[in-house]
Chain A
């Protein structure tokens, strides 16, 4: 059920009416029911997978929390009797017990993710190796279904498990409440990957109808619909043509495709998250933000702190830091600093850990080499810019342009172009093809196609391009305004007729200029496939 479908709007309206009619203590149960209905309607078989992950993680976290509590009580009761060595030995023993539950739950939950998402990718690679080695035998691909949003809900469940293991979060005793945390439908299929400590504050709390929250939520949904229907789905028409016959659309078209995809992905993903956060807000629930005006980033590293933030912090908290604080990495760090000197040696564990993180990030996005190369391309750019730091510092010491607006604009444009280039691995879905297409930008010399009307023969006419341009300008201006304060707060402070005009106008724009009808298909959100 697409967020932008009539069925979904009906689904939300029924939920909304019931949610504020029933006693508040039952609201979270209603959300659980609707979340499972939402998932059931996508495919009944999906329920088995999400229920299995929920049950295993809940059980493991329950026992880990019990062990945590026993440890705390034992150490407290015996604090004057036990020696330091005895305390340390006791903690080590407890840690082993906890690890058994942790590894069991990680094995099952990540195992389900690995088997459903990566089995066929593994088979394809084995077949390629067999072919290369002259072996005629080929393994058949398996007809495995990939449950919708499995990468998102598995990561969310694992974050809870690890937080309980670390003792930073209290375990949820009620299995159904935990099931709601894993399956909360607005964020189930494209995130954000919420943390239990954040989401649980409002997810299970009784909610009384609050017009401020409801109206702000509706405004956020409308903004999401604007981005998705007016920008993303309109761009998709021409983008699909450019991608369907990529060899034909080479040279200047590659740059056009990259820039269109930059706008498409932004409007699609942030629009989807706007709808998610907006729906949650109408229900009184606070879902964490996932973007912080990413296209105003001045470097790729900064971009990744501002784009899909819940994924970035997940990888930092649950992969990057645990890796770099692990015994093998600490040993590697010591060894490399001894052998290569402090300055160079300290880089070795950092670069290796970031390599692993970006490889995994690529794999998380999709079971194919183009995503892995996409991830490693990000890694490469970040590492290279890290190595250039001394040069940048030298440059800025001699030329005082760092704070000049023009230089900042240059940095922002540079980041957008670099990210657009890297993303071509994502949309061409073929690594050698991507490199070939990059090459054609320098060899074809067909730049006239940008202005000779060729782009008007791909499903969008001049009026569509004007709508797109105006819509993108509106989003850009809105982003700029957000630097001072949240935009809805600013609009809410305006006189009644003015703010009414803004929201009603936006509503009409979505109705009139949304990409529906002949020539358009309601399109799935891009991040649903991850």
Chain B
């Protein structure tokens, strides 16, 4: 989780990702940020977030994104 927070904080230093719950719906992260997150997650965790998982629900909070990564890691 800390490594994920590191990725997110590199994108937006001024956002508290531990508490924010509407990252995507609230416009805090946009489609360009999503692409960077996908690339970083692929590099650091070795999992690919494919298109079907790119939904507001999965990207609205760091927690949701972490759950997704865990799920994908389990499927690997």
Whether B39 is near chain A, meaning CB under 8 Å from some CB there, is yes
Cβ contact of B35, chosen from A87, A166, A337, A353, cutoff 8 A? A353
Whether B50 is near chain A, meaning CB under 8 Å from some CB there, is yes
Cβ contact of B38, chosen from A84, A317, A325, cutoff 8 A? A325
Q: Are A350 and B52 in contact (CB under 8 A)?
A: no
Supply 19 further A-B pairs (C-beta < 8 A) apart from A322-B50, A325-B54, A334-B39: A87-B75, A88-B75, A166-B51, A168-B52, A301-B30, A316-B31, A320-B31, A321-B31, A321-B34, A321-B54, A325-B50, A330-B42, A333-B42, A342-B10, A346-B36, A346-B39, A350-B32, A350-B35, A350-B36
Chain B's closest residue to A167 (CB) is B52
Chain A's closest residue to B49 (CB) is A325
What is the 8 Å Cβ interface bit string for chain B, positions 55-67, against chain A (1 contact, 0 not)?
A: 0000000000000
Q: What 7 pairs between A and B have smallest CB-CB spacing?
A: A166-B52, A333-B39, A322-B51, A324-B35, A321-B51, A321-B54, A346-B36
Classify the secondary structure of B's interface with A. Answer: helix
Q: Which residues of A contact B54 (CB under 8 A)?
A: 317, 321, 325
Q: Which residues of A contact B36 (CB under 8 A)?
A: 346, 350
Q: Which residues of B contact A334 (CB under 8 A)?
A: 39, 42-43
Bound complex: CA A167 to CA B53 (Å): 11
* Min CB–CB distance A382 → chain B (angstroms): 9
Q: Could you write out 29 A-B pairs with CB less than 8 Å apart?
A: A87-B75, A88-B76, A166-B52, A167-B52, A168-B52, A316-B31, A321-B31, A321-B51, A321-B54, A322-B50, A322-B51, A324-B34, A325-B48, A325-B49, A325-B50, A325-B51, A327-B48, A330-B38, A330-B48, A333-B39, A333-B43, A334-B42, A342-B10, A346-B36, A346-B39, A349-B35, A350-B36, A353-B35, A386-B32
Bound complex: CA A322 to CA B32 (Å): 13
Interface size, A (range):
20 to 34
Chain A's closest residue to B42 (CB) is A330
Q: Are A91 and B75 in contact (CB under 8 A)?
A: yes
* Min CB–CB distance A89 → chain B (angstroms): 12
Bound complex: CA A327 to CA B38 (Å): 11
Q: Which residues of B contact A342 (CB under 8 A)?
A: 10
Find the residue from A166, A316, A325, A349 having the highest chain B CB count within 10 A.
A325
* Min CB–CB distance B11 → chain A (angstroms): 9
Chain A's closest residue to B32 (CB) is A350
Chain A's closest residue to B43 (CB) is A334
What is the 8 Å Cβ interface bit string for chain A, positions 282-311, against chain B (1 contact, 0 not)?
A: 000000000000000000010000000000
Chain A's closest residue to B55 (CB) is A168
Bound complex: CA A341 to CA B51 (Å): 26
Find the residue from A324, A327, A330 having the highest chain B CB count within 10 A.
A324
Q: Which residues of A contact B42 (CB under 8 A)?
A: 330, 333-334
What is the 8 Å Cβ interface bit string for chain A, positions 318-348, against chain B (1 contact, 0 not)?
A: 1011101101001001100100001000100
Q: Which residues of A contact B (CB under 8 A)?
A: 84, 87-88, 91, 166-168, 301, 316-318, 320-322, 324-325, 327, 330, 333-334, 337, 342, 346, 349-350, 353, 386
Q: Which residues of B contact A (CB under 8 A)?
A: 10, 30-32, 34-36, 38-39, 42-43, 48-52, 54, 75-76
Q: Which residues of A contact B49 (CB under 8 A)?
A: 325
Bound complex: CA A301 to CA B52 (Å): 23
Chain B's closest residue to A336 (CB) is B39
Bound complex: CA A316 to CA B43 (Å): 23
Bound complex: CA A333 to CA B49 (Å): 14
Q: Which residues of B contact A350 (CB under 8 A)?
A: 32, 35-36
Chain B's closest residue to A85 (CB) is B76
Q: Which residues of A contact B52 (CB under 8 A)?
A: 166-168
Chain B's closest residue to A351 (CB) is B32
Q: Which residues of A contact B30 (CB under 8 A)?
A: 301
Q: Which residues of B contact A353 (CB under 8 A)?
A: 35
Chain B's closest residue to A163 (CB) is B52
Q: Which residues of B contact A301 (CB under 8 A)?
A: 30
* Min CB–CB distance A292 → chain B (angstroms): 13
* Min CB–CB distance A136 → chain B (angstroms): 48
Bound complex: CA A88 to CA B73 (Å): 11
Q: Are B38 and A324 in contact (CB under 8 A)?
A: yes
Bound complex: CA A346 to CA B34 (Å): 11
Chain A's closest residue to B74 (CB) is A84
Q: Are B75 and A317 in contact (CB under 8 A)?
A: no
* Min CB–CB distance A343 → chain B (angstroms): 9
Bound complex: CA A321 to CA B52 (Å): 9
Chain B's closest residue to A343 (CB) is B10
Q: Which residues of A contact B35 (CB under 8 A)?
A: 324, 349-350, 353
Bound complex: CA A144 to CA B3 (Å): 56
* Min CB–CB distance A302 → chain B (angstroms): 9
Q: Which residues of A contact B38 (CB under 8 A)?
A: 324-325, 330
* Min CB–CB distance B6 → chain A (angstroms): 12
Cβ contact of B51, chosen from A87, A91, A317, cutoff 8 A? A317
* Min CB–CB distance B51 → chain A (angstroms): 4
